[in-house]
Amino acid sequence: MPDLAISFPVFAGFAACLAMGAFLRGLAGFGMALVAMPFLVLLVPPADAVLAVLVVQITLTLIDLPECVGHADRRAVGMLTLAAIFGTPVGLLFISVVPLWLAQIVIGSITAAAAAALFFRFSLGPRPGPISTTAVGFFAGLFSGLAAAPGPPVVAYFLAREVPARTKRASMIILFAILAVFALATAAFKGALHLHVVLLGLFSAPLCAGGSALGAYFFRRGSETSYRNVALLAMVCSALFGIVLGLSAWLRL
């Protein structure tokens, strides 16, 4: 593995790959790691890739914050965040009991089922109650602690709500940034966040900002239907990716 501190090609390749994922983030409000991670892990260790992506995610959200705050459902974001904070330690406890490959298959299967339900127009209405919102946040935290995958419950929750696409997108951007801060703080506390990882994220941020801005450009010119179709497709890809990863790891045992 090349030394990140002196290898410019690694930094440049990482930034270019992540910029492709940033395009989907700008378009849908999520999915940056989904697109980029298969390529990023060819350049750097998976743990470093995940943490660097979190650094970029926080940086991009600081750029988008003025726009997103005005459209986000701040009440839902707050409830989801609090519930996720309680769910994450539970997921971490299950790590020693549930193999990662099994967690990936289960999460992928749940994501696929949620995508199917959304395809057939399952709806939570415009304003879900506190119980359903808290449950979604808890599972997001659980999946985050178990397999670093908080996205599926949150994406399904917002896609099932009868609110404008800009509200869904803005809410997810802010929520995932908050969870990223929490994850980075946890990694720093454990001594797993190193300077070269932070520099990798900061180096990638300008190019990723361009990719995200391009995605946002197409989002503003799209329709509610096109947004829903893109988000559902991203959910299906996420489900398949998780299942394939889990099955591959299981077959290597």
- pLDDT tens digits, residue range 103-128? 889 999 999 999 999 999 899 988 89
Distance CA 52, CA 140 (A): 20
The tokens describing 108, both together, are 């992928």
Q: Tell me: the pLDDT tens digits for 196-235?
A: 999 999 999 999 999 999 999 999 999 999 999 999 999 9
Res 68: pLDDT? 94
Strand partners, 125: 161
Q: Token pair for residue 47?
A: 């743990």
| pTM of structure | 0.90
CA 175 – CA 81 distance, rounded (Å): 7
Residue type, 68: C
Task: Quote the CA–CA distance of 143 and 179 in Å, as a whole number.
Answer: 12
The pair phi, psi for residue 207, each rounded to 5°, is: -65, -40
Q: What region, left, alpha or beta, does residue 193 occupy, with left being phi > 0 and alpha being psi -120 to 50 degrees? A: beta
Per-10-residue mean pLDDT, the chain, length 253 = 62 94 94 86 86 93 93 96 92 83 91 94 90 95 84 94 96 94 88 90 96 96 94 92 90 85
pLDDT at 5: 52
